[in-house]
Amino acid sequence: MSPTPTGRRPRIIVVGHGMVGHRFVQAAIERGLVETHDVLVLGEEARPAYDRVALTSFFEVGAEALSLLPEGAYDDPRVQLRTGVCVTAIDPETRRLRLSDATEETYDELVLATGAAPFVPPVPGRDLDGCFVYRTIEDLEAIRDAAGRGRPDGSGPARGVVIGGGLLGLEAANALHQLGVEAHVVEMAPRLMPVQLDDAGGTTLVRHVEALGVQVHTGVATTEVLGDAPATEGGRVTGLGLRDAEPLDAEIVVFSAGIRPRDALARDAGLATAERGGVLVDEQCRSSDPHVWAVGECAAPGGRMYGLVAPGYAMAEIVVDALLGGAGAFTGADMSTKLKLLGVDVASFGDAFATTPGSLELVFADAVGGLYKKLVVGPAGPDADGAPRDGYVLLGGILVGDASAYGVLRPLVSSGMLLPDNPEELILPASRGALELGLPDDAVVCSCNNVSKATILTALTDGSDDAGPCEDVAAVKRCTKAGSTCGSCVGTVKTVVEEYFAAVGREVDRSLCEHFALTRQELFDVVAVHGYRSFDDVVAAHGTGRGCDVCKPTVASILASQLNGHVLAPETGALQDTNDAYLANIQRNGTYSVVPRIPGGEITPDGLIVIGEVARDFGLYTKITGGQRIDLFGARMEELPAIWRRLVDAGFESGHAYGKSLRTVKSCVGSTWCRYGVQDSVQLAIDLELRYRGLRSPHKLKGGVSGCARECAEARGKDFGVIATEKGWNLYVGGNGGATPRHAELLVADVDTATLVRYLDRFLMYYVRTADRLQRTAPWIESLDGGLERVREVVVDDALGLGQELEEAMARHVAGYFDEWAATLEDPEKLARFVSFVNAPQTPDPDITFTTERGQIRPAAPSEPVDLGAAIPVGAPR
């Protein structure tokens, strides 16, 4: 476009600064549109664009972490941003906008990115105090304030109801749950997420959601919002009226029953709109006025509104292309979705409901494990040359409970790639994974940003216009935007990058994540050398950004390994996952398990009595574990300190069942009792467990000591195993149980106890220093150049001269050990986290319920009656 008659540069005005409006500006800068045009962005909200996809995480990370423009302005001076201003009218004839501050602006091209507004059903009482929508950060702040008020009579935490069980409704329920609100979801359809899931998938999701404490009501219509007075008299919400069902008591009602395009400006300006709402646009997203464009949720290409961010991004790119004279066209969008709702993986992609003629379904369902996986396949059809093909192609699918395969399954949809003869292996628990089939180059890896495998490969070979080839995953993400929105495809992007590097003989980048261009081992070394004591220090010196759920717990583990500090100390407490955060393992109904340490499996009668009394008094389920310990299940979060006070006073300490650290050293009775025993396996197991207790490591560690070759302690199924011989001890390393069990291999034979301990010190510290995150000892040994022989060279032969250093590191760990639970009980600040509801600390979570089986409690299924006698024993501290 040439300069205007007045000589000024043409001007584009973008109305709306949400995710799609921001994406338009990014594309305009990256593709050079600002070289010929000035851009003015008008945002209605006071804050710049932020990530609405991750809105629920606002309570955890805050508004700044969600911002897409933290600086508040664009670096390019040709782009201006004004926030907190509304456009009140458009005059297409004069190309003028009237604004809420009584000013006017002129445009040459206008891009409407006004998004959508929550739909509030016209039910009586919808304007009462306590009614909210779930759309903006301000909405969440208001919901948080209401949750903090609790019930009017002060009897407990607030109760909340979300109207709508779709994607946004479940996100809203998650927000209420995070705030400690007793949460309910009301969905008029017969299942949750009716647009994405079938009946079986919806049923599985309900079980997951209800097990986590959110009550679900499907097939139920809302009739009114109940209040203590009319809204005009300051009435507040007291409940929700339902058709053919009992009303629900509530202080908070969140409407999340869908969205409607914000197209009022276009309607008032005389622009064509779709029958069901939205600015009617052509394939280039141009409205009925040739100088007005619409993108995102306010647009209706072909008469259809798209309510996901990925289609909006595609529209923004197409408008930039059109303004540059390109011929790009929006002909539809991938509506696949993957998200984690209340800790539950859910994904839906392609033709999930098998509507394609001739399609077939492959289903794997595990009701006990909470898994539901479905693939929809169809006949392959002819190849590109018209030749017939035998076999099937993937058309779509649904994943509930485990969506780990989504990143490789979704790109196969519409790729035309033939599935193997046994496609069920793609969703079975022991799946070999679709990438082994060879992902085709035209497969779309990132649907949010429409990035194909070919685009990623081009970035690796050629790079962008102003930079050379991409050298790692982070560079690929910057260059292509793959994985930069919802993040569900990052694993697939990483695999494509690593496979390409391996194919061309280049060293594969093993960076921990996009925030650190270092491996875990390198991070371990820099922390050791520089003496860093917090994640902020490490990321400031050697990383970028604010970190993620990969690098934060990894750095926390490294700091714990080197500093021997408390995992809940201020500098590391916020980095922990759920288990470490509460020093206990969370179970499927939201309760926790308590596992005191019992070194070597040896325990006195008095110790047994104490554990039995604690289990009885707190109404806990008890079980002897495979590691010779007693596990106590069913403890509520607020009960954990009281339980551990009794155990600590009796001489017990944390068994670290929740940590990536040493769990147990199992033993047989050895020569003390057994007529076949040749060494005292019990004493050695106790000594080793007490020596290595609390050792934070890349993954959990288990050990075993058998008193003879009969191997009653199953030592060769452990990360380190010791078997007695007539001459001393044999040391085995690199074994494990689990899904891929393997035997440990002999490292050294017939050594005395002192030598055994010295080699084991070296082995464990070598592993802690050099293994990758979440890497067990078996794959770690396999990853070393030389495998077990390399371990033997370092540990036994001291080929690197590190023997003394590794032993000294272990000695520091042993000398610095302290019991985490004993320390927690003496620290009021750490104890403050152990409450179910911040605003009602003495109130137990009412959604945790039990029933009885074989004389003990277990979590109650949603359809089972609750046994209150089992849940709250007579005389219990509850």
Q: Can you give the CATH number for the domain in which 476 is found?
A: 1.10.10.1100
For residue range 790-840, list pLDDT tens digits in order: 999 999 999 999 999 999 999 999 999 999 999 999 998 888 878 755 444
Does residue 844 lie within any of the structural domains?
no
Pairing of strands 701-706, 720-725: parallel
CB of 693 closer than 8 Å to CB of 817: yes
Of residues 184 and 6, more confidently modeled: 184
Which among 783, 816, 849 is the end of a domain?
A: 816
Does residue 194 lie within any of the structural domains?
yes
Collapse the DSSP code of 362 into the 3-class scheme (helix H, G, I; strand E, B; otherwise coil) and give the result: strand
Q: Indicate if the pLDDT at residue 654 is higher than 60.
A: yes
Which among 790, 816, 842 is the end of a domain?
A: 816
Say yes or no: 754 and 797 in one domain: yes
> Which residues make beta-bridge pairs with 97?
90, 105
For residue range 748-767, list pLDDT tens digits in order: 999 999 999 999 999 999 99
Query: What percent of the chain is predicted at pLDDT more than 70?
Result: 90
pLDDT given at position 572: 64
Does residue 569 lie within any of the structural domains?
yes
Residues 390-408 as b/e (b if ≥16 CB within 10 A, e otherwise) read: eebbbbbbbbbbbbebbbb
Say yes or no: 719 and 784 in one domain: yes
CB of 253 closer than 8 Å to CB of 237: yes
Collapse the DSSP code of 71 into the 3-class scheme (helix H, G, I; strand E, B; otherwise coil) and give the result: coil
Q: Indicate if the pLDDT at residue 623 is higher than 80.
A: yes
Say yes or no: 665 and 571 in one domain: no
The structural domain count of the chain equals 6
For residue range 719-733, list pLDDT tens digits in order: 999 999 999 999 999
Q: Indicate if the pLDDT at residue 369 is higher than 90.
A: no
The enclosing domain of 728 has a CATH number of 3.30.413.10
What mean pLDDT is predicted for residues 163-180?
87
Say yes or no: 745 and 635 in one domain: yes
Collapse the DSSP code of 53 into the 3-class scheme (helix H, G, I; strand E, B; otherwise coil) and give the result: coil
Q: Indicate if the pLDDT at residue 90 is higher than 90.
A: yes
Residues 6+ apart with CB under 8 A from 797: none
pLDDT given at position 838: 47
Q: Choose among 673, 689, 671, 690: nearest CA to 681.
A: 671
Residues 6+ apart with CB under 8 A from 242: 186, 217, 220, 221, 222, 223, 248
**Cβ count near 664 (within 10 Å):** 28
For residue range 574-586, list pLDDT tens digits in order: 566 557 767 777 7
Helix 551-563 / helix 535-542 crossing angle, nearest 10 deg: 110
What mean pLDDT is predicted for residues 663-668?
92
Say yes or no: 482 and 344 in one domain: no
Cα-based distances in Å from 173 to 47, 253, 340, 342: 25, 10, 13, 8
Q: State the alpha helices, DSSP H only, in 381-433.
A: 406-409
Pairing of strands 182-187, 215-218: parallel
Does residue 865 lie within any of the structural domains?
no
The amino acid at 542 = H
Q: Indicate if the pLDDT at residue 133 is higher than 80.
A: yes
Cα-based distances in Å from 1 to 9, 12, 33, 842, 857: 9, 12, 10, 68, 74
Q: Name residue, tokens 């782009």.
A: 79
- CA dist., res. 297 & res. 112, Å (int): 10
Residues 6+ apart with CB under 8 A from 773: 512, 520, 550, 554, 557, 698
Predicted confidence band of residue 606 (pLDDT cuts 50, 70, 90): very high
Q: Indicate if the pLDDT at residue 874 is higher than 60.
A: no
Task: State the virtual CA torsion across 456, 462, 466, 467 in degrees, nearest 10.
Answer: 90
Say yes or no: 292 and 311 in one domain: yes
First to last CA, the chain: 74
pLDDT given at position 872: 42
Does residue 72 lie within any of the structural domains?
yes
The enclosing domain of 214 has a CATH number of 3.50.50.60
What pTM was computed for the model? 0.59
Token couple for 130: 């306590």
Task: State the virtual CA torsion across 26, 30, 34, 40 in degrees, nearest 10.
Answer: 0
Q: Indicate if the pLDDT at residue 862 is higher than 70.
A: no
Does residue 18 lie within any of the structural domains?
yes
pLDDT given at position 411: 80
Q: Name residue, tokens 């945002």.
A: 43
- CA dist., res. 236 & res. 129, Å (int): 5
What mean pLDDT is predicted for residues 202-219?
88
Q: State the alpha helices, DSSP H only, in 482-543.
A: 490-503, 520-530, 535-542
Q: Indicate if the pLDDT at residue 640 is higher than 80.
A: yes
Say yes or no: 660 and 683 in one domain: yes
**Cβ count near 84 (within 10 Å):** 12
- CA dist., res. 346 & res. 201, Å (int): 9
Q: Indicate if the pLDDT at residue 119 is higher than 50.
A: yes
Domain range holding 544? Answer: 520-576
- CA dist., res. 418 & res. 431, Å (int): 17
- CA dist., res. 691 & res. 693, Å (int): 6
Say yes or no: 628 and 773 in one domain: yes
Cα-based distances in Å from 491 to 128, 497, 832: 45, 10, 37
- CA dist., res. 206 & res. 489, Å (int): 26
Does residue 694 lie within any of the structural domains?
yes
Helix/strand/coil (H/E/C) assignment for every residue in 715-772 = HHHCCEEEEEECCEEEEEECCECCCCCECCEEEEEEECHHHHHHHHHHHHHHHHHHCC
Average pLDDT of the residues of the chain = 85
Does residue 779 lie within any of the structural domains?
yes
CB of 344 closer than 8 Å to CB of 208: yes
What mean pLDDT is predicted for residues 422-433?
63
- CA dist., res. 359 & res. 423, Å (int): 14
**Cβ count near 578 (within 10 Å):** 12
pLDDT given at position 436: 47
Of residues 614 and 509, more confidently modeled: 614
pLDDT given at position 261: 94
Helix 753-770 / helix 681-692 crossing angle, nearest 10 deg: 30
Which among 434, 455, 478 is the end of a domain?
A: 434
Which DSSP letter does residue 50 get?
A: B
Task: State the virtual CA torsion across 830, 833, 838, 843 in degrees, nearest 10.
Answer: -110
Bin 370: left if φ > 0, else alpha if -120 < ψ < 50, else beta.
Answer: left
DSSP E strand stretches across 8-146? 11-15, 38-43, 79-83, 87-91, 96-99, 104-106, 109-112, 116-118, 131-133
Query: What percent of the chain is predicted at pLDDT more than 90?
Result: 44
Q: How many residues does this entry show for the chain?
A: 878
What mean pLDDT is predicted for residues 500-509?
73
Of residues 540 and 874, more confidently modeled: 540
- CA dist., res. 153 & res. 251, Å (int): 11
pLDDT given at position 39: 96
Tell me, rounded to whole angstroms, the distance of Cα 731 from its chain centroid.
39
- CA dist., res. 240 & res. 230, Å (int): 14
What mean pLDDT is predicted for residues 664-687?
91
Q: Indicate if the pLDDT at residue 207 is higher than 90.
A: no
pLDDT given at position 296: 94
DSSP E strand stretches across 250-296? 252-255, 259-261, 279-281, 292-294
Helix 490-503 / helix 473-480 crossing angle, nearest 10 deg: 120
Predicted confidence band of residue 609 (pLDDT cuts 50, 70, 90): very high
Residues 6+ apart with CB under 8 A from 49: 17, 18, 19, 21, 22, 43, 67, 68, 69
Of residues 434 and 709, more confidently modeled: 709
Token couple for 705: 């000591």
Say yes or no: 264 and 221 in one domain: no
Collapse the DSSP code of 145 into the 3-class scheme (helix H, G, I; strand E, B; otherwise coil) and give the result: helix
Residues 6+ apart with CB under 8 A from 231: 125, 127, 128, 129
- CA dist., res. 441 & res. 794, Å (int): 43
Of residues 390 and 685, more confidently modeled: 685
Q: Indicate if the pLDDT at residue 498 is higher than 80.
A: no
What mean pLDDT is predicted for residues 462-467?
63
Cα-based distances in Å from 270 to 115, 266, 287, 372: 19, 6, 11, 48
**Cβ count near 726 (within 10 Å):** 9
pLDDT given at position 4: 55
Token couple for 725: 């011989």
Say yes or no: 799 and 661 in one domain: yes
pLDDT given at position 260: 92
Say yes or no: 27 and 104 in one domain: yes
Say yes or no: 191 and 253 in one domain: yes
